[in-house]
Amino acid sequence: MRKGAFWAVVAVLVGAAILVRLLSRPSEDAHERMHAEEVKAQAAVESLASLPVAQRLQKLKEYLSLESPIAMRAEAVEALARIDTAEARAMLREALRDFASPVRVRVAETASSQPRDYALELLVDCLADHDTEVRQSALLALQQIRDRRAVSALITLLREDSNEKTQHMAMGVLRALTGQPFYARYTDPPARRQQARQQWLAWWTKTQAEFPAITPRPVHPSQTQPAPDLTLRTLEGARISLRRPEKPLLLHFWGTWCGACQQELPHLTAFHRKYGNQVQVVGVAFDEPAGARGLQQFCAARGVRYPQVLGDAPIREAFDIHGVPQSVLIDTQGRIRFWWVGARDTATFERAVQRLLK
């Protein structure tokens, strides 16, 4: 009898737990929403395939407007790259003015499908982009087209860009284009990687006259969009208006549970140390398992000293956040000037802010 009563209680508790889980679970996972949005954008763009080129370009121009979701704009870039007309190529280059990184990265990724001279010009321009991910996407594309005219721009990148992955990729492309043996694995000690870099620079001093000099003409983001009309409250109680920030505002959407976010934190803290007097950095943490107290403890343990906000549904919906990390740079007029999806390095934020503060 007692055994039966015990199992009856267990069944009731399990049933109650399942009911609570079902009632509290969001109706749709963030990644599911992101996937659904991408599928919708892809279907919309693919439906244009049967249209005459002129009509297709007109629709793609509409899809590239800032009124469209970022996923739609990125898919429009993909479609433009498949149209072999001067107008399509001009629109592809113009897409680099978009403030959203997925759109601009997609330009670099698809550039190699263009006529060779245009592809080379576009990719060399992307090597001077503010965003490290755009630069690295351009390096991958240059590896595909293998045009020796890019050597001078690659050497400039190797000399000026301190990102170790970018340097490693640039040396790989240089080796493919020139046949020179200077190389170091990404896992080699820093001294060995620096030695390979110096070998390339010494080689260039002797041979640069053999290669044409191509000067990058980067296209910087110039399109803007009003930030959501929200006022955030930090854990300390301070209020931050997105439409009227006192100084440029860098919002970092993240979570303590997110591996990529944790890898990015040293870059954010380094940026804050250097630019904290000129730019307000604010973390917006979503789905924190230990709430405000756990977030504060996590930040204190890792030396994160810029203010934090607990992300909620209104913030998530206003920015259409499907995943983290993401970062948005807002100017003092309350306009979104840069939006990065995925982790970024200190140099990316620094180059963007330097353009903003000019």
52 pLDDT higher than 70: yes
pLDDT digits (tens, 9 = 90+) for 105-128: 999 999 999 999 999 999 999 999
Each residue of 170-190: pLDDT tens digit? 999 999 999 999 999 888 999
pTM of the model: 0.90
Per residue in 295-335, pLDDT (tens digit) is 999 999 999 999 999 999 999 999 999 899 999 999 999 99
Q: Where are the alpha helices (DSSP H) in 64-163?
A: 70-80, 86-94, 101-110, 116-126, 132-145, 151-160
* Bridge partners, residue 310, by sequence: 285
Query: Using omega within 30 degrees of 0 as the cis cutoff, is the peptide bond preceding 325 cis?
Result: yes
The candidate with the shortest Cα–Cα distance to 289, out of 281, 280, 276, 298, is 298
Looking at residue 19, its pLDDT comes to 38
**Of the listed ranges 42-51, 134-143, 277-286, the one predicted with least confidence:** 42-51
Q: Which whole number is the average pLDDT over 269-285?
A: 98
Residue with tokens 């990058």, as numbered in its chain: 216
Domains of the chain and CATH, by start: 36-210 (1.25.10.10), 225-357 (3.40.30.10)
Q: Identify which of 353, 324, 323, 325 has the alpha carbon closest to the alpha carbon of residue 338.
A: 353
Q: How confident is the model at residue 36 (pLDDT cuts 50, 70, 90)?
A: confident
Which pLDDT band, with edges at 50, 70 and 90, does 42 fall under?
confident
CB 242 within 8 A of CB 229: yes
* 56-106 pLDDT tens trace: 999 999 999 999 999 999 999 999 999 999 999 999 999 999 999 999 999
Q: Yes or no: say if 347 and 161 are a contact pair by the CB < 8 Å rule.
A: yes
What pLDDT is attached to residue 289?
95
**Residue 216 main-chain phi, psi, to 5 deg:** -65, 145
The three-state secondary structure class of 321 is coil
pLDDT value at position 35? 74
pLDDT for res 22: 35
Q: Are 166 and 256 in contact (CB under 8 A)?
A: no
